Structure 1
Amino acid sequence: MALRILLTNDDGVDAPGLAVMAEIAHALSDDVWIVAPDGNQSGAGHRFSFGRELSFVEHGPRRFAVKGGSPADCVVAGMTHILGDKPADLVLSGVNAGQNLGDIVNCSGTAAGAREGVLQGAIGIAMSQSMDYEITRKPDWSNAARFGAEVVEAILAAHGDDDVFYNVNFPYCGTTEVTGLAAVAHQRFSRSPIRYYPSDNDGEFFMAIPETPLPLDPKADYEVLRRGNAITVTPFALQQTHRGALERLGTIGLKGR
């Protein structure tokens, strides 16, 4: 049976990376649907727009934007309404313009789209095309376009019943320089990479990632992507309970009880 695929992103329904993701999806199935934000939702994380009315804007057959919606809003609206009684088997989120690595995944709207896909009963895969921001802020989509469908097929073949979503990053290099597909852990930074960053406008500031916290694990996603030119894939568990801490907490109690 053909896969039913739902696409979303956090760069907006008209983003070039979503067009690349549509090409990837159509290489896998003819049953492809798009429900994406109407504008940029980068850094939105897993935010839901509770208490605020949303609406659909139809952009063509099987292609919808959610006005003011987050990636998580879009996946829920797609899975529980647009697709009716036949929700998607696979949710693909991206392709994001820029890498989503390490702890940055915690605030990534791209990652949230894939995560919510799993919470809604599908397999979820987030995809990002890395860039060297010191050289350009215009992505080269060649690696995502060339290898994306093959990466999805490899993940689906290995998936099993794991309660995870997958985070994929394509390296910033020529297609002939890609060294393969590497399954790696995510980089746990020594501190949050997100910092206050002053604006040139008096009294204003930004949230930004001015530098990467060190040290970096040479076997984790950040360095394997950057130095190894590999396509990285990391499975993120949805069951986040830390078993060791849970066991230690089981030994505590209240004084006098």
Structure 2
Amino acid sequence: MSLRILITNDDGIDAPGIAIMAEIAAAISDDVWVVAPDGNQSGAGHRFSFGRELALEEHGHRRFAVTGGSPADCVVVGMTHLLADRPADLVLSGVNAGQNLGDIVNCSGTAAGAREGVLQGAIGIAMSQSMDYEVTHSPDWTNASRFGAEVVDAIVAAHRGDDVFYNVNFPFCGVSEVAGLVAVPHQRFSRSPIRHYPSDNAGRFFMAIPETPKPLDPKADFEVLRRGNAITVTPFALQQTHQGALERLGSIELKKAR
């Protein structure tokens, strides 16, 4: 029996990257479903649209959009409604237009799609095609298209029921320059990269990432992707409890009220 695959993204149902992801999935299975937001949800993180009615629109064979929905909403609709009889074995989120690296993964809607896939019982893989923003804001999808299915196969083969989702980034370089698939930790920045950024319009501003906090670990995802031209994969644990802090807190007591 083929893997049942559910695809989502945060760039919207008509984004070029989701078409690339559909091609990747089709090379692996003939049981592929797409449920994505009807528009751009970049930076939505793991938001759910509680208390607000949503609608599911059919956009073709096994292809649906959730109006106003987030990537996490889309995965829930796919896994618990459309595929309720047999939920997907694998959730693929992306391919995102632009890299998702380091602490930026915490606010990524692409990452959230894969994370919610794992929470719903599937293997979850987020995929992003990086680009040099100083040169262009239109990614070259060649590396994602060329290596995507092979990367998915490798991750699925290595998966052992771990409580993780996988974050993959493809480098912006020629196909012949790709240095392989490298498992790396994510870059923990010295501070949040998200900043207030003033607009040219008076009284207005943006949330933006104007620069990358330094220093950078040469062995972490950011530098391995950028300098090493490698496809990076990072497993992110869903169990986020810090054991050291848990043990320290276990020994504290409240002072008795006088």
TM bucket normalised to smaller: over 0.9
How far did residue 153 of structure 1 move? 0.5
Task: Identify the residue that residue 115 of structure 1 maps to in structure 2.
Answer: 115
**Counterpart position of 1:179:** 179
1:250 and 2:246 equivalent? Answer: no
Deviation of residue 197 (structure 1)?
0.1
The equivalent residue for 1:51 is 51
Find out whether 1:96 has 2:65 as its counterpart.
no
TM-score w.r.t. structure 1 length?
Answer: 0.99
The residue that corresponds to 1:126 in the other structure is: 126
Q: Secondary structure at the match of 2:104?
A: helix
CA RMSD of aligned residues (A): 0.6
Instruction: For residue 22 of structure 1, report the CA deviation from its aligned partner.
Output: 0.2
Q: Distance in 2 between matches of 1:256 and 1:240?
A: 31
**Partner amino acid for 2:164?**
V
Distance in 1, matches of 2:28 and 2:50, equals 34
Q: Distance in 2 between matches of 1:56 and 1:255?
A: 54
In structure 2, list runs of 5 or more residues that go unmatched. Answer: none
Q: Trace 1:37-76 onto structure 2 (pairs within 5 A).
A: 37-76=37-76
Whether 2:1 is the aligned partner of 1:4: answer no
**In 2, Cα distance between equivalents of 1:153 and 1:37:** 26
1:189 maps to 189
Once the two structures are TM-superposed, the CA of residue 181 in structure 1 deviates from its matched residue by 0.3
C-alpha distance in structure 1 between counterparts of 2:219 and 2:132, whole Å: 20
1:82 matched residue in structure 2 = 82
Deviation at 1:161, TM superposition (A): 1.5
Match of 1:240 in 2: 240
Matched residue, 1:211: 211
Amino acid at match of 1:14: D
Shift of 1:84: 2.3
Q: How many residues align?
A: 257
Which runs of 4 or more aligned residues in structure 1 lie more than 2 Å from their structure 2 counterparts after TM superposition? none
CA distance in 2, matches of 1:161, 1:2: 18
1:166 maps to which residue? 166
SS in 1 for 2:215: coil
**5+ residue gaps, structure 1:** none
What percentage of aligned pairs have identical amino acids?
84
TM-score of the superposed pair, with normalisation by structure 2: 0.99
Give distance in 1, aligned partners of 2:239 and 2:225: 26
